[in-house]
């Protein structure tokens, strides 16, 4: 069996118009898949130069396969199980700037280059003040990009028409604005020419984005079956779900050179990406966080099992549709469609998503994923979201650290775990007193949650007492049946 290469598959020769920082699973299963679709449908004619952002990476592995690799998309699409493979052929060059820095910089002189795309992890867009020697490859992503832009500025003598579309995909708020800020700060640290800094800021076109697709990565346990099915060896197979969403803030130049919304994919250019970010965090991430302690303490271990359970599944759906959707300022038909797609993704039979992996750092996750919904719901509705508060009670119960006779492997900030242990160690049977202390924990929530609504402490204490008295399974079953956790 041969390794995938140009010998086995036709690979079109395309001019390199896009430079991509990052060669990891997500970009290959998401952005390059979108670029493949744009090329295949004639919306663009552009090859990609993939740049390895860290000393260790896979550009050599990709180059050994002539930039070709297989994408496996698996999941539920319109209620049907889908499993399909596709060869991605958009990579035209693989660049390791740590071993060939000049080759990397030479792309700054390219007449063809139009777009920079990146996903260098959330920590990638940050200023490294020690990135001051540009005669060698800078350590940080902003340093590398700054070096490339300086080469471009010098080569084209500050031509304002030679700016690039800069499209970060890192999972931080306002990633385009943040990258712009980091580049400016690093240029100033290096005392670069003010004319260059102005060119960098005004000739180039930064846009913020939101990305969404679950990408499990290399299907190690299935690779032998995949090779038998495809008939070739591929050391860079990447697996992703069917669902995809890319929201980009509108920017005319970016839309011109990267018309990613033109081929019918789930790509949106929006005036404001904030509502879409809220939608993802509140519905997808928020329902994960609300689900975990309830389902796990019922003896369930995965997301799929949880949403397919008649009781837990109803709890999750009612939480999303009744308490989250009303807090997001998007048309309700869009909210309903997105919420349904989230539930469908949770039911993906090809992905085993462990609840305990989502439980990591659950204290902070409550603050970032559920507290905003709680505050917004109370402001809009003037009453408390009962499913969310039931989940908060379950989070308190979860941090008692026991599932039946089994110890829970809690993973969180050590200071938070110490505080949870202290709260339960001081528990004297008064649930209201315990809940009051939890709600007043300003170090965790950045506020005293007792002030949100006069009934919040009593409500959470009632649910926690029911969980302790009856067990989670009986408590949640009673809750979803309509008695709100008070039945005997």
Between 20-34, 339-353, 435-449, the lowest mean confidence (pLDDT) is in: 339-353
Measured distance CA(403)–CA(397) in Å, rounded: 10
Write down the mean pLDDT value for the chain: 95
**Interval 370-405: pLDDT, tens:** 999 999 999 999 999 999 999 999 999 999 999 999
Average pLDDT over residues 55-84: 92
- Is residue 247 within 8 Å of residue 270, measured between CB atoms? yes
DSSP 217: B
- Quote the distance between the C-alpha of residue 120 and its chain's center: 12
Q: Which of 436, 471, 292 is nearest to 366 (CA)?
A: 292
H or E stretch covering 257: helix 252-257
* Residue among 330, 341, 340, 214 at smallest CA distance from 276: 330
Compute the C-alpha angle 171/173/176, nearest 5°.
90
- Answer for the pair 408, 402: CB distance below 8 angstroms, yes or no: yes
Q: What would the mean pLDDT of 52-80 be, rounded to a whole number?
A: 93
What would the pLDDT profile of 256-284 be if each residue is shown by its tens digit? 999 999 999 999 999 999 999 989 989 99
414 pLDDT more than 80: yes
Q: Cα–Cα distances in Å, from 387 out to 27, 159, 290, 463?
A: 36, 57, 8, 10
Q: What does each C-alpha distance from 281 to 257, 312, 325, 369, 385 come to in angstroms?
A: 29, 20, 12, 6, 17
Burial per residue of 360-378, b for 16 or more beta-carbon CB atoms within 10 angstroms, e otherwise: eebbebbbebbbebbebbb
Q: Note the pLDDT tens digit of each residue in 154-209.
A: 999 999 999 999 999 998 889 999 999 999 999 999 999 999 999 999 999 999 99
Say whether pLDDT at 37 is over 70: yes
**More confidently predicted of 101 and 351:** 101
- Where do we find the tokens 């306002």? 174
pTM: 0.80
Distance (Å, whole) CA 461 – CA 440: 14
What pLDDT was estimated at residue 484? 54
Output DSSP code: residue 420.
H
């Amino acid at each position: 069996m041969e390794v995938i290469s140009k010998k086995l598959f036709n690979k079109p020769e395309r001019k390199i118009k896009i430079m991509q920082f990052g060669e990891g699973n997500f970009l290959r299963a998401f952005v390059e898949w979108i670029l493949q679709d744009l090329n295949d449908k004639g919306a663009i004619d552009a090859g990609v130069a993939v740049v390895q952002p860290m000393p260790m990476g896979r550009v050599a592995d990709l180059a050994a396969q002539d930039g070709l690799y297989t994408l496996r998309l698996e999941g539920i699409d319109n209620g049907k199980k889908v499993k399909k493979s596709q060869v991605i052929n958009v990579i035209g060059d693989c660049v390791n700037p740590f071993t060939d820095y000049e080759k990397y910089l030479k792309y700054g002189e390219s007449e063809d280059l139009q777009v920079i795309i990146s996903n260098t992890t959330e920590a990638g867009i940050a200023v490294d003040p020690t990135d001051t020697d540009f005669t060698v490859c800078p350590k940080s992503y902003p340093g590398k990009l700054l070096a490339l832009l300086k080469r471009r500025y010098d080569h084209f003598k500050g031509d304002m028409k030679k700016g690039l579309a800069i499209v970060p995909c890192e999972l931080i708020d306002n990633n385009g604005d943040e990258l712009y800020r980091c580049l400016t700060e690093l240029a100033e640290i290096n005392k670069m020419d003010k004319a260059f800094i102005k060119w960098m800021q005004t000739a180039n076109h930064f846009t913020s984005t939101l990305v969404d697709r679950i990408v499990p990565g290399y299907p190690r346990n299935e690779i032998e079956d995949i090779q038998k099915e495809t008939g070739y060896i591929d050391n860079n197979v990447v697996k992703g779900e069917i669902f995809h969403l890319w929201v980009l803030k509108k920017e005319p130049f970016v839309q011109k050179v990267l018309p990613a919304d033109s081929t019918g994919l789930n790509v949106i250019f929006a005036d404001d990406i904030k509502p879409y970010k809220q939608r993802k965090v509140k519905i997808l991430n928020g329902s994960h966080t609300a689900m975990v302690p309830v389902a796990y303490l019922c003896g369930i271990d995965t997301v799929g099992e949880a949403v397919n359970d008649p009781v837990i599944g109803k709890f999750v759906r009612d939480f999303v549709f009744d308490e989250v959707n009303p807090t997001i300022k998007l048309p309700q038909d869009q909210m309903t469609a997105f919420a349904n797609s989230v539930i469908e993704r949770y039911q993906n039979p090809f992905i085993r998503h462990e609840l305990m992996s989502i439980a990591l750092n659950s204290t902070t996750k409550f603050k970032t994923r559920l507290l905003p919904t709680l505050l917004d719901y109370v402001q809009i509705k003037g009453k408390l979201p009962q499913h969310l508060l039931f989940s908060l009670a379950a989070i308190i119960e979860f941090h008692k650290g026991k599932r039946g006779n089994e110890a829970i492997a809690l993973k969180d900030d050590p200071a938070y775990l110490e505080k949870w242990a202290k709260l339960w160690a001081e528990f004297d049977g008064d649930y209201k007193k315990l809940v009051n202390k939890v709600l007043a924990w300003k170090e965790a929530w950045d506020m005293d949650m007792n002030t949100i609504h006069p009934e919040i402490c009593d409500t959470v204490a009632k649910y926690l007492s029911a969980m302790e008295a009856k067990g989670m399974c009986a408590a949640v079953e009673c809750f979803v049946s309509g008695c709100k956790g008070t039945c005997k």
